[in-house]
């Protein structure tokens, strides 16, 4: 038995970015474009999670037109999932847009190769090999199988991992970008159920040390544009979000209303009991929860706010692009008193 190294690990609230001299006169001078490698370039570095309460056609259209991308979830037959992809491409085309970026999620067993091929034929511009614990022999085999079947020219995202070893292995096995974070999602109970995980920002810091040709997607636990900016400073090339995009017109599911007039939508982890029973008819171990989130209208306004926040964030460090920001950003740790001061704190003050 070897003892684990008892390293300290940071998450988003533990750090702040130090403001620096800026010669940026307008936030419009700041570019939010990110190159995720192997042909996947996003004008907005935000990706919607492959979850059944987040990413279907409507989310793919709005995210794609805004310059980001949604990954259509895989909890459907191949035909239905592919139809969601082609519908999103068809609608955005009818609105006069160039083809948008849309991801198609696949698993690591069963029909995943056929699914991947059909998704690409239907207009998906990249694939996402979507499993909870991606640093796994089945991921290695799946990536080998996919590369054999579709070649090297399609961007493949894979994950999730929590370590430098994880991202390096996935890159060596054929991934172009990797979703980094285990157990940090808002609807996730992996750390409670299994005791495993690494705080989200630390995962990004660690995974960004990779020397492979691979890009880092900070996935899960991102609550606002400030967290996004911290993730980019730590080395992320894009962020993946669920809860930030949940409860919107574009997220799947009905708007519900309670007796007091409170309107909400459902948002659930894909490993929650509810999601498993829905898609498989039963559940095994569950590592997610199902939650009600407030109904918030169109995601388009939310994305505009997030984009403004990212631009402003980069400008506080005097950086005109994410790549430049990563080379100049200065991060420091804050105490819990600093964290308290960092949040709006007039409410609850003793006058």
Give catalytic residue positions. Answer: 188, 190
Binding flag, residue 134, ligand IMP (CB under 6 A):
no
Q: Return d(Cα 232, Cα 237) in angstroms, integer.
A: 6
Q: Return d(Cα 336, Cα 123) in angstroms, integer.
A: 47
Q: Which stretch binds ligand IMP (CB under 6 A): 147-155, 237-245, 252-260, 333-341?
A: 237-245
Structure tokens at 235: 């080395």
Whether the CB-CB separation of 191 and 183 falls below 8 Å is answered with: yes
CB closer to ligand IMP out of 272 and 317: 272
Whether the CB-CB separation of 264 and 295 falls below 8 Å is answered with: yes
Among 59, 119, 222, 302, binds ligand IMP (CB under 6 A): 222
According to DSSP, the β-strands at 331-333 and 15-17 are: antiparallel
The structure tokens 């999602």 sit at: 185
Under rule CB under 6 A, which residues in 267-296 are in contact with ligand IMP? 269-272, 287-288
- How far is residue 217 CA from its own chain's centroid? 6
Binding flag, residue 169, ligand IMP (CB under 6 A):
no
x-or-dash string of contact with ligand IMP, 185-214, rule CB under 6 A: xxxx-x------------------------
Run of H or E including 348: none
CB closer to ligand IMP out of 55 and 315: 55
Binding flag, residue 52, ligand IMP (CB under 6 A):
no
Instruction: Tally Cβ neighbours within 10 Å of residue 23.
Output: 8
List C-alpha distances in Å: 233 to 143, 179, 239, 321: 29, 16, 12, 11
Q: What is the closest distance, in whole angstroms, from the C-beta atom of residue 75 to ligand IMP in the complex?
A: 11
Among 143, 154, 241, 314, binds ligand IMP (CB under 6 A): 241
CB closer to ligand IMP out of 160 and 208: 160
Rg (alpha carbons) of the chain, rounded to whole number: 20
Among 234, 240, 310, 322, binds ligand IMP (CB under 6 A): 240
Size of the site for ligand IMP (CB under 6 A): 23
Binding flag, residue 243, ligand IMP (CB under 6 A):
yes
Residue 159: strand pairing partners: 130, 179
Residues within the interface to ligand IMP (CB under 6 A): 49, 51, 160, 185-188, 190, 219-222, 240-244, 269-272, 287-288
């Amino acid at each position: 038995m070897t003892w684990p190294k008892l390293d300290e690990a940071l998450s988003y609230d533990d750090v702040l970015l130090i403001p620096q001299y800026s010669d940026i006169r307008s936030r419009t001078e700041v570019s939010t474009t990110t190159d995720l490698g192997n042909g996947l370039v996003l004008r907005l570095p935000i990706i919607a999670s492959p979850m059944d309460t987040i990413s279907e056609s409507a989310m793919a259209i709005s995210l794609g037109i805004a310059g980001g991308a949604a990954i259509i979830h895989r909890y459907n037959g191949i035909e239905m999932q592919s139809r969601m992809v082609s519908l999103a491409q068809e609608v955005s085309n009818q609105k006069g847009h160039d083809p948008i970026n849309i991801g198609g999620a696949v698993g690591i067993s069963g029909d995943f190769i056929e699914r991947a091929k059909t998704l690409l034929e239907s207009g998906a511009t990249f694939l996402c090999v979507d499993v909870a614990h991606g640093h796994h022999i089945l991921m290695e085999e799946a990536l080998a199988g996919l590369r054999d079947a579709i070649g090297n020219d399609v961007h493949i995202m894979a994950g999730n991992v929590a370590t430098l070893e994880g991202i390096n292995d996935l890159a060596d096995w054929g991934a172009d970008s990797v979703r980094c974070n285990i157990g940090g999602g808002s609807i996730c109970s992996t750390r409670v159920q299994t005791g495993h995980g690494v705080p989200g920002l630390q995962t990004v810091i660690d995974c960004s040390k990779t020397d492979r040709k691979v890009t880092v997607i900070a996935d899960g636990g991102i609550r606002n544009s400030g967290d996004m900016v911290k993730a980019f400073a730590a080395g992320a090339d894009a962020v993946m979000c669920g809860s930030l995009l949940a409860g919107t017109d574009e997220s799947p599911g009905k708007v519900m209303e309670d007796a007091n007039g409170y309107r909400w939508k459902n948002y659930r982890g894909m490993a929650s009991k509810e999601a498993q029973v829905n898609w498989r008819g039963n559940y095994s171990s569950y590592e997610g929860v199902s939650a009600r989130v407030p109904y918030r209208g169109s995601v388009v306004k939310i994305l505009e706010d997030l984009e403004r926040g990212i631009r402003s964030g980069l400008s506080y460090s005097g950086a005109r692009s994410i790549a430049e920001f990563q080379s100049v950003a200065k991060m420091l740790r804050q105490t819990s008193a600093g964290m308290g001061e960092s949040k709006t704190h007039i409410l609850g003050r003793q006058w």
